[in-house]
Structure formats: structure tokens, C-alpha cells
């Protein structure tokens, strides 16, 4: 079955195709078939369902390269968190140990639905509360139940008792991933010994990932200690494009050299770094670009932060341009940050050949944004509108692998009262268990 989106502004994020002030996007099954100014005579468009996107923008879905999805039913419980230590004590040491598999499912599903509603079609779930095999299964099922393109990055918990089944359980998880290919698996770890050596990336965990042929995501990459770890990994040949480093604040120039030389990828968390005050509290965008790395963007923790990619793009743009006031030639642009949120994000988590652009042959992961709403009209610049004008309420349509998950401004097949009951019941049980 084919669908033709016609008449809207098309932002492809493909440097060869460019952008179209008025154009068409044709999809068939799960893939993008063609992009052009007028595709009505294309052979696969003759029997296609036609969707008029006049007054709208068609763009790639956003890619969230790092979110701790299991925490979603506790979102904004610590909105004024003072520092990383307070987050660790309240959330990872305080509430994480009482989570049941059902709580994992509820939180992960809520985060994924919220992502889709805000135009995020791909989300890496850094699931660091894998207390039992059932906890991991529930997190994966939470992703799969929504239709999102999800990456389950599995890690054992920081605090409390657990079955110590990780990382051995990754073998089972890989073999039992949901069919269809929308959910993929990564190993998750920490950069340094924050809570014990078992969770720290190094030759042992790298060997696990290599044997399973899965990539690795490393969180809490901060400062001098992480810089020393990066240089050690370089000597051990453990850096490379299959390794994602998250935050990367306060790293030394030599660490950045090693990252750039090896093609290691970077996930920035603009609102997390600045609001929580992680290391330097300055998103490492200038350092990444100087090293030749175009980073992805991420939400991080909803217990204290906003849930959408528009916030991340705007925070990063404002912070970088503020710092560049005396060197205007180095200012990033709205197109840059949209690229970080789409194309570069897909590359960061190993899905650059799958999603992130509206390119024929890529998966049909796209969003349609209302450019005639009160906060977006009139449409003068599509990129500027996406980055500076729009917000989740303007996203009328969301597709993942050609499947429509949001239409006419509403998520499909979601019973909001039932979801709210499930989420609040889970939250209340968690809070009762920790009171």
C-alpha cells in the first residue's frame, strides 16, 4: 500500500535532495519510495492514498539518543534537583529498587508514547534498572507496544539488590527481540567506577558486546576521570563508531582527539547538562564539532526535565550562540540543530542507514507539522519554524516504518483515561513503597 503526502513544504535533511518549498513524499509499505516537487505521475502513486499537506511541513522524525524511560511515571518529581548527587540518591538509590516489572513496562511505555506524540520516532532507552530478566522483558515490551523504533540499551542497576543476570542475559534478550526489526539491542554501561566496577565499560564488557555483535552506549561521561578512561579505551582499541558516549562534558582536549580520530559518537543532553549542572554544565557542542563529531541529542531524565526534542534544540542553539558572541563565525544554525535531532542522532545510535532523513530507500519515519497554527503561521522558513516556532501540539501526523501512529493531532488506539489510571496506580505504588 502506498501513501502520497502532497503539497507541503518538505525538509528532507538529505544534502543531495535538499528542501522543497512545495513537494511530495511517496511511501510504499515501510519505505520512502520517492521525494520530489510533483509525484502524481509516479507509477506507485497511481493507487496511493493521497494526504494533502498544504500548509504543513513534512520532515524526518526526531531521534532521541538517550532517555531513561522507566522513570516516566515519576516525571517532574524533582523539578528543582540540585545536582547529580541528588538525582542519584532520590531516584536511582531511592525509588529504583522498588520497581516491579510492571512498573518498568508502564514507565517505558509512557515515555515512548510521549516521544511519539512529540514527533520522536526513534528512542534509545538507556534502561539501567534491569534488576531481573523480567524487568528487561517488561521494558522491551513497553517499547514494542507503542510502535516506536526503539533501542533497548540494557544495564544493571546502580543500587539495591538484583539478580546479577546482566550482562549474561543479553544473549537471551537478543534472541527474543520482538519480530519486525523495530526494536534493537545495545549494551549500556558507565564510563567510570561511580557505584562499583561491574557496570564500568572496559575490555570485559566490550568482549560481551563484540561476541553478541551489538553496540555500546556509555553514560556519565564527565570530566577528568572519563577523559582518562577514554584514553585507556583508545589504547585497548575499544573506541569506534559502535560506541556512543553520553554527555561528554568537561573532557580534555586529548580525549576529544581520541574520540574524533576513532569515529566514536556523542550524545548531548542540553537541558540535562545545563539544568542539573553536570560537570561544567555546558553542552559540549563546540568541542564535538572541533573534533569532527556531529552529535545526537537526548532527553535524559523526565524526573527533572522536559520530554520533547524542541526543548533540546532550542537550549543547545541558545547556549552555543551565547558562548559564540565574540566569534560569530563559529555560531551553529537552526539547520545544524535540526540535523543533530534527526540525521546525526540516527548516526549516533547506529541507525544512520535506516532513518533520520527523507531519502528513498530509508524507512518511512516522518512527521507532519501544522505551519498554519497560531504559533507557526505564516510559514516563512521551514527549518526556522521547526526549530524555533513549533512544539508538540503542532505535530499532526507521525509515521514509523510507514505505520501511522498519530493522525489529526492525536495518538491512535490510545485510551487516555485507562493509560492515566495505569500510570498513576504505578506511581502511587512506588511512592507508597518508598515512604
Tell me, letter by letter, the H, E, C secondary structure of 207-238: HHHHHHCCEEEEEEEEHHHHHHHHHHHHHCCC
Rounded Cα gap, residues 336 and 386, in angstroms? 12
pLDDT at residue 125 in the model:
98
Calculate helix-pair angle for 416-434, 101-117, nearest 10 degrees: 130
- Whole-number Cα distances in Å, 320 to 109, 276, 404: 33, 18, 35
How far is 19 from 31, CA to CA, in rounded Å?
A: 19
Question: Does the 2-60+353-411 domain belong in CATH 2.30.40.10?
Answer: yes
- Do residues 108 and 139 make contact, with C-beta atoms less than 8 angstroms apart? yes
CATH homologous superfamily, domain 62-348: Metal-dependent hydrolases (3.20.20.140)
Cell, residue 197? 566496577
CATH 3.20.20.140 domain locations along the chain = 62-348
DSSP state of 91: I
Q: Which of 20, 24, 22 is nearest to 6 (CA)?
A: 24
SS3 for 184? strand
Tell me what pLDDT residue 195 has: 84
Residue with cell 545545563: 274
Distances (CA, A) of 360 to 78, 117, 353: 43, 25, 11
pLDDT along the chain (435 residues), means of 10: 96 97 98 97 94 98 98 97 93 97 98 98 98 98 98 97 98 96 98 92 98 98 98 98 98 98 98 95 97 98 97 98 89 98 98 98 98 98 98 98 98 97 98 95
- CA 193 to CA 372: how far, in whole Å? 51
The answer to whether 367 touches 30, Cβ cutoff 8 Å, is no
Which part of the chain has CATH 2.30.40.10? 2-60+353-411
Helices (H) and strands (E) in the chain, counts: 14, 17
Q: 364 with 35: CB under 8 angstroms?
A: no
Range 236-271 burial, b when 16+ CB lie within 10 A, else e = eebbeebbbbbbbbbbbeebbbbbbebebbbbbbbb
How many Cα atoms sit within 13 Å of 428 on the Cβ side?
A: 6
CB atoms within 10 A of CB 76: 12
Tell which residue, 158, 146, 19, has the closest CA to residue 97: 158
Residue reference for cell 508514547: 113
Listed in sequence order, the residues at least 6 apart from 210 whose beta carbon sits closer than 8 Å to its beta carbon are none
Amino acid at each position: 500500500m502506498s501513501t502520497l503526502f502532497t503539497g507541503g513544504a518538505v525538509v528532507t535533511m538529505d544534502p543531495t535532495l535538499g528542501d522543497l518549498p512545495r513537494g511530495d513524499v511517496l511511501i510504499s509499505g515501510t519505505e520512502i519510495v520517492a521525494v520530489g516537487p510533483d509525484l502524481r505521475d509516479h507509477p506507485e502513486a497511481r493507487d496511493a492514498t493521497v494526504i494533502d499537506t498544504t500548509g504543513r511541513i513534512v520532515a524526518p522524525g526526531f531521534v532521541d539518543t538517550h532517555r531513561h524511560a522507566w522513570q516516566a511515571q515519576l516525571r517532574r518529581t524533582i523539578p528543582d534537583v540540585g545536582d547529580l548527587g541528588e538525582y542519584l540518591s532520590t531516584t536511582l538509590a531511592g525509588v529504583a529498587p522498588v520497581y516491579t516489572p510492571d512498573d518498568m513496562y508502564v514507565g517505558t511505555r509512557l515515555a515512548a508514547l510521549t516521544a511519539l506524540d512529540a514527533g520522536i520516532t526513534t528512542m534509545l532507552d538507556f534502561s539501567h534498572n534491569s534488576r531481573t530478566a523480567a524487568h528487561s522483558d517488561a521494558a522491551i515490551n513497553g517499547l514494542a507496544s507503542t510502535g516506536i523504533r526503539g533501542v533497548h540499551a540494557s544495564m544493571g542497576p546502580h543500587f539495591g539488590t538484583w539478580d546479577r543476570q546482566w550482562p549474561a542475559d543479553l544473549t537471551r534478550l537478543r534472541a527474543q527481540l520482538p519480530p519486525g526489526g523495530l526494536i534493537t539491542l545495545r549494551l549500556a554501561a558507565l564510563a567510570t567506577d561511580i557505584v562499583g566496577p561491574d557496570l564500568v565499560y572496559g575490555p570485559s564488557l566490550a568482549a560481551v558486546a563484540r561476541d553478541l555483535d551489538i553496540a555500546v552506549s556509555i553514560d556519565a561521561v564527565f570530566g577528568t576521570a572519563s577523559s582518562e578512561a577514554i584514553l585507556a579505551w583508545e589504547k585497548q582499541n575499544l573506541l569506534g563508531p559502535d560506541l556512543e558516549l553520553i554527555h561528554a562534558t568537561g573532557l580534555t582536549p586529548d580525549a576529544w582527539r581520541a574520540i574524533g580520530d576513532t569515529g566514536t559518537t556523542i550524545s548531548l543532553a542540553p537541558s540535562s547538562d545545563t539544568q542539573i549542572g553536570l560537570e561544567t554544565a555546558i553542552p559540549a557542542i563546540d568541542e564535538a564539532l572541533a573534533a569532527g563529531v556531529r552529535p545526537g541529542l537526548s532527553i535524559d531524565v523526565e524526573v527533572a526535565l522536559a520530554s520533547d526534542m524542541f526543548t533540546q534544540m532550542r537550549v543547545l542553539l541558545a547556549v552555543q550562540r551565547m558562548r559564540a558572541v565574540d566569534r560569530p563565525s563559529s555560531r551553529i544554525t537552526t539547520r545544524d540543530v535540526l540535523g543533530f535531532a534527526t540525521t546525526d542522532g540516527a548516526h549516533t545510535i547506529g541507525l544512520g542507514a535506516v532513518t533520520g532523513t527523507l531519502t528513498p530507500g530509508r524507512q518511512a519515519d516522518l512527521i507532519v507539522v501544522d505551519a498554519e497554527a497560531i504559533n507557526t503561521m505564516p510559514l516563512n522558513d521551514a527549518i526556522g519554524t521547526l526549530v524555533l516556532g513549533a512544539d508538540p501540539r503542532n505535530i499532526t501526523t507521525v509515521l514509523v516504518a510507514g505505520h501511522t501512529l498519530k493522525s489529526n493531532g492525536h495518538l491512535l488506539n490510545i485510551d487516555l483515561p485507562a493509560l492515566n489510571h495505569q500510570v498513576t496506580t504505578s506511581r502511587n505504588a512506588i511512592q507508597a513503597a518508598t515512604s
